[in-house]
Amino acid sequence: MTLTIEFMRTRSPVFARVLSIARTIPTFKERESDGLTLYSVDFKEKDFESAQAFFDHVRGWKGVAFYIDGKVAPRLRAVRLVFDRCLGRAIHESRLTQQFGATPSDFIRKQRAQEPPEA
């Protein structure tokens, strides 16, 4: 699954900063359409945390479009998709941490605690 965030020039005082951040992302694209310069960044599912951070920068801007797998998507659907996937990953990681421990030494301690005592 791919999320594309497309935006255009805005009067926002942070536009230049956001554009410079976007340009550091390997999937950054710049194109012309009807006399407007459009900028876009693609995020694969494994990069949705970065998408969430990038979305925070363009959140209140007009002229931002979202595409999920190449199809136009409402802002709320795009935001929810990213949030749900990030939350799901965090819950999964939390469950793994509870089950196996946060560090290798935690894992070893948990394994030893489950071993039957030697007779």
Q: What residue ranges in the chain does DSSP mark as E strands? A: 2-8, 29-33, 36-44, 65-68, 71-73
Q: How confident is the model at residue 31, as a pLDDT?
A: 95
Task: Please write the tens of the pLDDT for every residue from 58-70.
Answer: 888 988 998 988 9
45: Cβ–Cβ under 8 A, 6 or more apart, which residues? Answer: 1, 2, 85
Q: How far is CA 113 from the centre of its chain?
A: 37
Task: Look at the pTM and tell me if it is higher than 0.85.
Answer: no
Q: How confident is the model at residue 89 (pLDDT cuts 50, 70, 90)?
A: low
Give bridge partners of residue 117 from the DSSP assignment: none
What residue ranges define each of the domains in the chain, with the CATH number in brackets? 2-90 (3.30.70)
